[in-house]
Chains A and B, each alone.
Chain A
Amino acid sequence: MKNFLQPRIIMLASLICLGLVFFFPLWQITLEAAQFPGGLQLHIWINKVSGSEKNIVQNVNILNHYIGMQAIHPESIPELKYFPIITYFMLGFGVLTIWLNKTWAYLSWFILMAVLGTLGIYDFYLWLYDYGHNLDPMAPIKIEGMSFMPPLFGEKDLLNFYVKSYPHWGGVFLGLSIIISGLAFWRKRRAVPKEKASYLSTN
């Protein structure tokens, strides 16, 4: 049992969680309306946008063009290209951390990942804001004073749609990865003898 609480093994668990973001969507936005039984699900991944059906992006774009929202073109969203690279970097750094097995390395990884995660959510918020507010003045349907920004986290009425926005499994794993890496740092720090710890604090 004790072995499982070794910082290296905990850090490995954190990296596995991070690696899982390539297999599950980070976020899910669901659009519900009477004529869309089961709703339309948009899945935001680390490297792509997909959904409950193959052509979800085209179908959402068709609906959005009536209110003048820009079309979602995943190929023109740069984040979908460099986010995976950052993730690979963090995975590499994580492996290095396990190899070094130093308290400072665990702490650095934890802080860096937490900052990157927060920045990622802020970036996602900016995209949602832009989609919701930057509307074509020639739109067929214009509603005075109305913006169409989906919620970052939560639920909201947007015209005929009821929109729900929550993290998907990938987002959950990303959060877990950060928390677990914090745990690894904490275990490492406790495992280091007192004098070494003071050595760390003076360096």
Chain B
Amino acid sequence: MNMKNRMQFGFWMLFLIAFTISCDQKDSTKVVEGNAAEQAYVAPGEYDEYYAFLSGGYSGQITAYGLPSGRLLKEIPVFSQYPENGYGYSEETKPMFNTSYGFVPWDDSHHIELSQTKGEFDGRWLFVNGNNTPRIARIDLSTFETVEILEIPDVAGLHCAPFITENSEYLVSGTRFSIPIPQKDVPIDTYKENFKGLINYVSVDPEHGHMELAFQIEMPGFNYDLARNGKAVSHGWSFLTTYNSEQAHSLLEVNASQKDKDLMAIINWKKAEEYMKQGKFTERQTSYFHNLVDESTGIVESKERTLTKILDPKELPGMVYFIPVPKSPHGCDVDPTGEYIVGNGKLSADMSVYSFSKLMKAIEDENFDGDIDGIPVINYEAGLHGIVKKPGLGPLHTEFDGRGNAYTTFFISSEVVKWDVETKEILDRQPTFYSPGHLMIPGGETRKPDGKYLLAMNKITKDRYLPTGPELAHSAQLFDISGDKMKLILDFPTKGEPHYAQGIKADKVQPNAVKFYDIEANEHPYATLGEGKTKVERDGNEVHVYMTAMRSHLAPDNIEGFQVGDKVYFHVTNLEQDWDVPHGFAIQGATNAELLVMPGQTRTLVWEPKKVGVYAFYCTDFCSALHQEMSGYARVSAKGSDVPLKWGLNEELRNNQQAAHKFYDEAKASADASK
């Protein structure tokens, strides 16, 4: 190429790039048409029609949004300490983070499940998994607070969790990484002989929601990725996709992508229940923690559990089957009728749709292509309803609208595709900006989807918003799916990295909202039920301050007699009994966090003064016109000082109870003497 040609070539290349970019930009703006803004607009003072709960991924939390406005309502702290309100820092909530590895203040929250009754969302609880330190959390939707966390033993990377059955009987989960069970010191390249996977069934108490590890099924050492439970006709069955059936342990991106097909595990959990009843399990000693809020005190009780019950499919026939799925599937999804199961073959050009009735027939006819570790592998064609041909690249997740249509996200080709479940025909495709992971239709995984909106959660935003340095927000995009064509109506940034979400009609949650905690029901051992009962007590170097908060003062607000080296417990009770009147508590020199105390609640912050002086404390939540005045002082003296313990509010500092009694006795004695 001579100079001139080179320049010409360069010119044409530039032209081509500019043309491509301008086309792209045109595309991304063109999709928003007509009255989109009006559809997503919720006027000031009006409520959204839906709650959407988005997982936070590496934030470890959950965010609650209103739809269709995309307004952020609350970040619910779950698996990560939250200094903003003291969750995981206050004495009451610290035990929520107890695990068999000790105190683990962070996790990676992926998949959200709402509790269900008869295959529909009932608006009672929200469940979410912790990926890194395998855990499942329960959030109470009357308070939007995390009330329970159960650790799952002997698994690694609880990605495949917590998938719920249609009456919330079980939360099903599987290990993402297989590991030696029980853990032992073996060479990593002995994967094939030493590594196993577990599929876990956690039962949910129908009245209180309390979780319990019912049983675990021991499986071959694959990576169990995502799951769904059957519904209606397929109720009683679970479907879990696996990848890495190659059993690679290094450079998985290549070595776990070799086989043309991986596997879907099909579990008859009703059968498993029968085997449990017949006592056909083995017990194993292990260690895992169960952390639960006591409703009367608000204190988390943490208990270690040491026993787990294992079912072995090699010895228990009719409980577990496999069927091949195209390459490295990322989940499978069951349609509202329960008949069709969609395998999302992440690296495949096609998508397999299975038929539950065909699967059952294949099992009945024993139409198997051999077995893996004693688990029959159903013939691929025998269970297949059909194949969706070339729908896009990188299918990740499918939900349904209840009108016979399925909607699938395509990570690589960055789009949402609408297709007919029965005919497998592609009906519509819309670009997303960019690279969606999961999508959510309110109720889209239940028997009765609410097929009005679709929310796609994008991993990459690049040029979509004003830049914020190297780290950019992820995003969600809301589509109106009520018509034949999907219509993009809103695009908003999200917190952390939402992996999955659930949406529910607001009227299933809103009426149960707790406005404040009843102070008369507060049985916290350090609660102070009235300003007259405030006090300060010393026990060695431990000092307990029984404090109250009420607009607009803390009582007591002058405290003397602390000493360097003390461990001071501020037990703050919010005496308010009105909606939206939390009080905060912060003290200088505290190395943990602050407290936000809800009305009627008691929360405890530990403070260990290191230096002599007088330290201010104050209310951090702008509670009233006199909020700025809601403050006090704590005097810290040298260790062993003779400054007595005194406290008070707008009066002479009172000595402790004993001294007060002494004063009273003396006064009485002198009065008697003068008679």
- CB–CB B577/A55 < 8 A: yes
Select which of A55, A66, A140, A141 is within 8 A of B578 by beta carbon.
Answer: A55
Q: Which residues of B contact A59 (CB under 8 A)?
A: 577-578
Query: In whole Å, how far is A36's beta carbon from the nearest beta carbon of chain B?
Result: 10
Q: Which residues of A contact B551 (CB under 8 A)?
A: 62
- CB–CB A140/B577 < 8 A: no
Query: In whole Å, how far is A91's beta carbon from the nearest beta carbon of chain B?
Result: 34
State the main secondary structure of chain B at its contact with A.
loop
Is B550 an interface position by the 8 A CB rule?
A: yes
Is A196 an interface position by the 8 A CB rule?
A: no
The distance in angstroms between the C-alpha atoms of A141 and B625, with both chains bound, is 10
The distance in angstroms between the C-alpha atoms of A53 and B579, with both chains bound, is 11
A40 (CB) vs chain B CBs: closest residue: B578
Is B626 an interface position by the 8 A CB rule?
A: yes
Is A73 an interface position by the 8 A CB rule?
A: no
Is A194 an interface position by the 8 A CB rule?
A: no
- CB–CB A66/B577 < 8 A: no
- CB–CB B626/A140 < 8 A: yes
- CB–CB B626/A66 < 8 A: yes
A138 (CB) vs chain B CBs: closest residue: B650
The distance in angstroms between the C-alpha atoms of A59 and B600, with both chains bound, is 13
Query: In whole Å, how far is B628's beta carbon from the nearest beta carbon of chain A?
Result: 11
A54 (CB) vs chain B CBs: closest residue: B577
Q: How many residues of B contact A (CB 8 A)?
A: 9
Q: How many residues of A contact B (CB 8 A)?
A: 9
Given contacts A55-B577, A55-B578, A59-B578, contact A66 B625 (CB under 8 A): yes
B579 (CB) vs chain A CBs: closest residue: A53
Is A58 an interface position by the 8 A CB rule?
A: yes
Q: Which residues of A contact B626 (CB under 8 A)?
A: 66, 140
Q: Which residues of A contact B550 (CB under 8 A)?
A: 62
Q: Which residues of A contact B629 (CB under 8 A)?
A: 140
The distance in angstroms between the C-alpha atoms of A59 and B624, with both chains bound, is 13
B624-646: CB near A (< 8 Å → 1, else 0) gives: 11100100000000000000000
A53 (CB) vs chain B CBs: closest residue: B578
A41-61: CB near B (< 8 Å → 1, else 0) gives: 000000000000111001100
The distance in angstroms between the C-alpha atoms of A66 and B626, with both chains bound, is 8
Query: In whole Å, how far is A25's beta carbon from the nearest beta carbon of chain B?
Result: 20
Question: Which residues of B (574-618) have their CB < 8 Å from a CB of A?
Answer: 576-578
Query: In whole Å, how far is B443's beta carbon from the nearest beta carbon of chain A?
Result: 30
Question: Which residues of A (14-64) have their CB < 8 Å from a CB of B?
Answer: 53-55, 58-59, 62
B577 (CB) vs chain A CBs: closest residue: A55
B516 (CB) vs chain A CBs: closest residue: A55
The distance in angstroms between the C-alpha atoms of A58 and B576, with both chains bound, is 8
Query: In whole Å, how far is B451's beta carbon from the nearest beta carbon of chain A?
Result: 33
- CB–CB A58/B577 < 8 A: yes
The distance in angstroms between the C-alpha atoms of A47 and B156, with both chains bound, is 65
Query: In whole Å, how far is B624's beta carbon from the nearest beta carbon of chain A?
Result: 8
The distance in angstroms between the C-alpha atoms of A98 and B466, with both chains bound, is 84
The distance in angstroms between the C-alpha atoms of A55 and B577, with both chains bound, is 6
A122-163: CB near B (< 8 Å → 1, else 0) gives: 000000000000000000110000000000000000000000
The distance in angstroms between the C-alpha atoms of A55 and B578, with both chains bound, is 7
The distance in angstroms between the C-alpha atoms of A62 and B625, with both chains bound, is 12
A145-183: CB near B (< 8 Å → 1, else 0) gives: 000000000000000000000000000000000000000
The distance in angstroms between the C-alpha atoms of A59 and B550, with both chains bound, is 10
B428-440: CB near A (< 8 Å → 1, else 0) gives: 0000000000000
A-B contact pairs, 11 of them (CB 8 A): A55-B577, A55-B578, A58-B577, A58-B578, A59-B577, A62-B550, A62-B578, A66-B624, A66-B625, A140-B626, A140-B629
* B residues at A contact (CB < 8 Å): 550-551, 576-578, 624-626, 629
Given contacts A53-B578, A62-B551, A66-B626, 16 further A-B contacts (CB under 8 A): A54-B577, A55-B577, A55-B578, A58-B577, A58-B578, A59-B577, A59-B578, A62-B550, A62-B576, A62-B578, A66-B624, A66-B625, A140-B625, A140-B626, A140-B629, A141-B625
- Going nearest first, the 5 A-B pairs with the smallest beta carbon separation are A55-B577, A59-B578, A62-B551, A140-B626, A58-B577
